[in-house]
């Protein structure tokens, strides 16, 4: 349940000291932390630490310790360079199986772009054959006493295949913080592409024998490149680096790597020079690089869960952590194909857009007949396209405002039909179904659905010369107040209840986002009913006065302290 939190637990990891009295470790070691303590090698005392910066995207965190005694006899490590293939590296940390420091030696097997397990983001990684076990995460990988990476994960169902975060990613993390006083993250062009390895395709796009590149198949509208690149352009080079037909660029020696590597050295808002071929004409364009944006978030660490319970209907925003909780680590193969398509390939058309799911229907007299409906996308409420949870909350408030509870909670009045009810109504503490005026945040965390232990320990990695402990704590909030107005008077407010980013043609743009959403013939003009249009051509209709009457009972029945997340209050 999104309103419940798992009990606190301890997680152990490693770390190392760098200049400026800072400690580096893995982001997954301190994810969801409420208390962090560190112990240096050879000292039994544990010192309180705090998180200064964390980059969950690259799985790196920076810690600080205020106690001066901790820094006595500690010397910072310096950074080296990315090692060559077959070169030796040494991993230092505190893996499970003992309390003392552990040193393992391995050989560099591969250097390439990999998908990081903690964030599902593709960045440069180094594969080694040294043993990296639980507890090693965050520990330094050394070569000639210089840090060339951070141990962070292993390959499931394989032996002696571990991965370290290369020094180039670490330096990008540190430089980003130095430039902006905070961590912004890595940037992308904002395009989708495919290789041009077919001779027919090369001839079709008028490429000469010397020209190589990749075909731009989609330009994402929310990125800066949308005004300069077009579908059908051939991307030939980035900052003078020639792109091969398979999408790789020269790395070093005889090694090649995906052209995303050329972007990993840049920062948000940096300008990138591109050479493209458009309809047989070669040209150069300057493109500003943007932060990666996803329709369905790949990770939601260190954020509280958002949810909305309306008359027993539980709504959440789709995220990849939610998919993992519902369908397991192999959710990409086990989950319904419609949800997988949205989670993996959904395109963000609006900055505030979310995929809203009816997560489950709480069994009660009010929801009889709907109990088996679960994990279906919500498209519209009473014909109004829904942008995100915040928008959904506003729409439901406007729809339910005309109905309120009098002094007798069993008597439901309609403000539009009973003028006396307007004179006697009072703002009462109640749930969203009876008209609360809260707002739901559109970017919150649903990982409380799953055990935090699973979230952290699924990534078999953690530690190095500093042992880190993290704990999580539960949270609680209070309800909000409500008001009532005439449904007719607020019909236009319902249309305007979407955030300002909708624009003047908001309804059209939202409908275009959800393909196939024409006017639903099942939407009948019944002002005392609320109509939910869902995926798989399903609908749910509820009698608003009945919903207002039974909602408090449903909340008590399922021990739900409040009908919405804290950010609604």
Distance (Å, whole) CA 50 – CA 66: 9
The DSSP code sequence of 379-435 is EEETTEEP-SHHHHHHHHHHHHTTEEE-SSTT-EEETTT-HHHHHH----EE-GGGT
Distance (Å, whole) CA 74 – CA 79: 16
99 is catalytic: no
137 is catalytic: yes
Distance (Å, whole) CA 164 – CA 123: 11
Torsion of CA 419, 424, 425, 427, to 10 degrees: 150
Catalytic residue among 14, 56, 59, 436: 59
28 is catalytic: yes
Tokens of 43: 């000292």
Distance (Å, whole) CA 531 – CA 514: 17
Catalytic residue among 119, 134, 137, 465: 137
The residues facing 214 across adjacent strands are 195, 235
Going by C-alpha positions, the residue among 466, 393, 417 that lies closest to residue 40 is 466
Distance (Å, whole) CA 159 – CA 132: 10
Catalytic residue among 14, 28, 176, 567: 28
Distance (Å, whole) CA 96 – CA 471: 18
- The answer to whether 266 and 289 have CB atoms below 8 angstroms apart is yes
Going by C-alpha positions, the residue among 409, 536, 447 that lies closest to residue 119 is 447
- The answer to whether 430 and 552 have CB atoms below 8 angstroms apart is yes
Tokens of 382: 């009473």
**Residues tagged active-site:** 28, 59, 137
């Amino acid at each position: 349940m999104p309103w419940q939190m798992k009990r606190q637990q301890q997680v152990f990891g490693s770390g190392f000291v760098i200049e400026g009295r800072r400690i580096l470790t893995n982001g997954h070691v301190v994810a969801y932390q409420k208390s962090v303590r560190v112990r240096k090698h050879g000292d039994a005392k544990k010192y309180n630490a705090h998180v200064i910066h964390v980059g969950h995207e690259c799985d790196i965190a920076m810690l600080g310790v205020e106690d001066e005694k901790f820094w006595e006899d500690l010397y910072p490590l310096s950074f080296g360079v990315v090692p060559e293939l077959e070169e030796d590296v040494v991993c230092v940390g505190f893996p499970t199986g003992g309390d003392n420091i552990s040193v393992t030696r391995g050989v560099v097997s591969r250097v390439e772009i990999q998908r990081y397990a903690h964030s599902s983001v593709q960045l440069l990684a180094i594969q080694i054959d040294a043993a990296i076990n639980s507890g090693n995460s965050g520990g330094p990988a050394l070569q000639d006493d210089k840090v060339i990476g951070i141990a962070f994960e292993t390959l499931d169902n394989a032996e002696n295949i571990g991965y370290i975060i290369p020094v180039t990613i670490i330096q990008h993390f540190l430089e980003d913080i130095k430039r902006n006083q905070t961590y912004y993250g890595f940037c992308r062009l904002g395009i989708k592409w495919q290789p041009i390895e077919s001779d027919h395709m090369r001839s079709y796009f008028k490429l000469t024998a010397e020209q190589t590149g990749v075909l731009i198949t989609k330009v994402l509208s929310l990125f800066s490149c949308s005004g300069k690149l077009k579908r059908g352009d051939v991307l030939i080079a980035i900052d003078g680096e020639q792109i091969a037909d398979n999408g790789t660029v020269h790395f070093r020696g005889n090694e090649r790597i995906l052209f995303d590597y050329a972007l990993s050295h840049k920062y948000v808002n940096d300008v990138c020079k591109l050479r493209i071929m458009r309809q047989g004409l070669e040209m150069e364009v300057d493109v500003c690089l943007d932060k990666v944006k996803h329709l369905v978030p790949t990770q939601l660490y260190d954020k509280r869960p958002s949810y909305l319970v309306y008359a027993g209907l539980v709504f959440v925003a789709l995220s990849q952590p939610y998919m993992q909780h519902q369908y397991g680590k192999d959710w990409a193969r086990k989950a319904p194909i419609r949800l997988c398509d949205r989670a993996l390939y959904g395109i963000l058309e609006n900055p505030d857009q979310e995929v809203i799911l009816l997560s489950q229907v709480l069994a009660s007299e009010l929801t009889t007949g709907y109990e088996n409906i679960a994990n279906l996308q919500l498209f519209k409420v009473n014909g109004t396209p829904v942008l995100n949870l915040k928008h959904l909350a506003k729409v439901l408030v406007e729809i339910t405002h005309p109905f309120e509870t009098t002094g007798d909670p069993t008597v439901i009045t309609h403000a539009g039909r009973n003028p006396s009810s307007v004179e006697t109504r009072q703002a009462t503490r109640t749930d969203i179904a009876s008209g609360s005026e809260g707002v739901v945040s559109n970017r919150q965390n649903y990982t409380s659905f799953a055990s935090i232990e699973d979230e952290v320990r699924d990534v078999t990695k953690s530690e190095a010369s500093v042992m880190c402990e993290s704990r999580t704590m539960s949270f609680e909030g209070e309800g909000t107040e409500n008001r009532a107005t005439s449904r007719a008077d607020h019909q236009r407010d319902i249309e305007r209840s979407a955030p300002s980013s909708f624009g003047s043609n908001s309804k059209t743009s939202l409908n275009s986002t959800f393909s196939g959403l024409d006017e639903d013939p099942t939407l009948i003009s019944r002002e005392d009913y609320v109509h939910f249009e869902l995926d798989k051509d399903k609908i749910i209709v509820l009698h608003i006065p009945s919903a207002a009457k039974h909602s408090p009972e449903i909340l008590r029945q399922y021990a739900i302290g409040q009908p919405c997340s804290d950010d609604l209050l």
